[in-house]
Structure 1
Amino acid sequence: MTRLSERLQQANAERQLTVRQIADIGGDGVDKSTISRYLRGQHPASPRDDVLQTFSKALGVPVQELRELAGRPGGEAAPYKPPPEVNQLTAVQRRALDGIIRAMAQPHETNTEVSTVDELASERKTPVSKPTRSHRSAAAPSPYSDDAGKRIRRQQDADAEDSQE
């Protein structure tokens, strides 16, 4: 049995709640079979945060404690609330941001829900082209892309010829 399951059983022994009551009080939509598995110690090595939140609400155990018992950083008790500017993002941008947040919250796991650039691009109405030389020069101009750059290149060429003589 895991330390997490032992702590959940201990807290539930004090409250004497049924699996159904834990699910109802927790209110996060976690099904009864999941709750039962956690109480028996048959849960994944890295529990989902919504499950931990459910147990926290129902059993009165701080969610940070449950996260730490599960081998994860304690984090904050309250859910993250993004700034109001997030409402200006498109659906594709929001999914990308969600993927970044998931990846940051679970750095030791491979996150299969993070979308690739190609997956996100396929959902856009206008295609996103992959970076090419012309895109790079437009985004980050080369010092050789203007007249000053040409002068520098000519000076370097002249210096190279002088050094060969």
Structure 2
Amino acid sequence: MSGLSDLLQRLNTEGWSSRRIERETEKHGRKISYASVSRYLNGTHPQNPDAATLQALADVFGVHVNELRNALGRPGVGEPFDLGEDGARLTGPQREAIRTTVRLFVEQNDALADRSQSDGATTRTSEPRLTLVSDDVPDLRGLRFAADEEKPGDDPGEDDD
């Protein structure tokens, strides 16, 4: 049995069947089939459940998703990331660069969590270094920024320091 399965068993204080939990997930807008629910309850679920599944189970049992993530040995999640009003001023390629960077950070966090879970480590003594874990990264060297644009009266080749 997995840590997640143990937690789900403890949270299922009403003794709901897999079919009942399936119906409850559907009520919360994220249906999980009863066969999948059964796998989560008995410990034969995927090693890395997706975020939507974890959120659906957290909603059904009335706990924060971080409780389920912690049972898997994964770091908790914070509030949703929002760039605010300035984000609306970015170009499409700039937004894609940010999405790619965020994805790389998440992959790195998940890899660190998997590594600590497999070697039994419980704490990290230093900040992780970002390493490339994906070959699917756009080339950002040609990205133009407004600050890069020459303005009338600028002396070409001089910095604005």
Question: When the two structures are superposed, what TM-score results if normalisation uses the length of structure 2?
Answer: 0.57
Higher RCO (Cα < 8 Å, 6 or more apart) = 2
Query: Using a 3 Å threshold, how does the CA distance of structure 1 residues 80 and 57 change in structure 2: closer, same or farther?
Result: farther
**Whole-angstrom CA distance in 1 between matches of 2:92 and 2:45:** 32
Unaligned runs of 5+ in 1: 122-127, 130-144, 147-165
**Whole-angstrom CA distance in 1 between matches of 2:24 and 2:14:** 13
**Contact 1:26–1:56, Cα closer than 8 Å, also in 2:** no
Q: Matches of residues 9-88 of structure 1 in structure 2 within 5 Å?
A: 9-14=9-14, 16=16, 18-28=20-30, 30-32=31-33, 33-76=35-78, 78-88=79-89
Q: How many residues align?
A: 121
**Whole-angstrom CA distance in 1 between matches of 2:59 and 2:10:** 15
Query: Do residues 117 (structure 1) and 138 (structure 2) align?
Result: yes
Unaligned runs of 5+ in 2: 112-131, 144-156
Q: Matches of residues 83-102 of structure 1 in structure 2 within 5 Å?
A: 83-102=84-103
Identity of aligned residues (%): 31
**Contact 1:67–1:74, Cα closer than 8 Å, also in 2:** yes
Higher helix share: 1
**Letter of the aligned partner of 2:97 in structure 1?**
A
Question: When the two structures are superposed, what TM-score results if normalisation uses the length of structure 1?
Answer: 0.56
Larger radius of gyration: 1
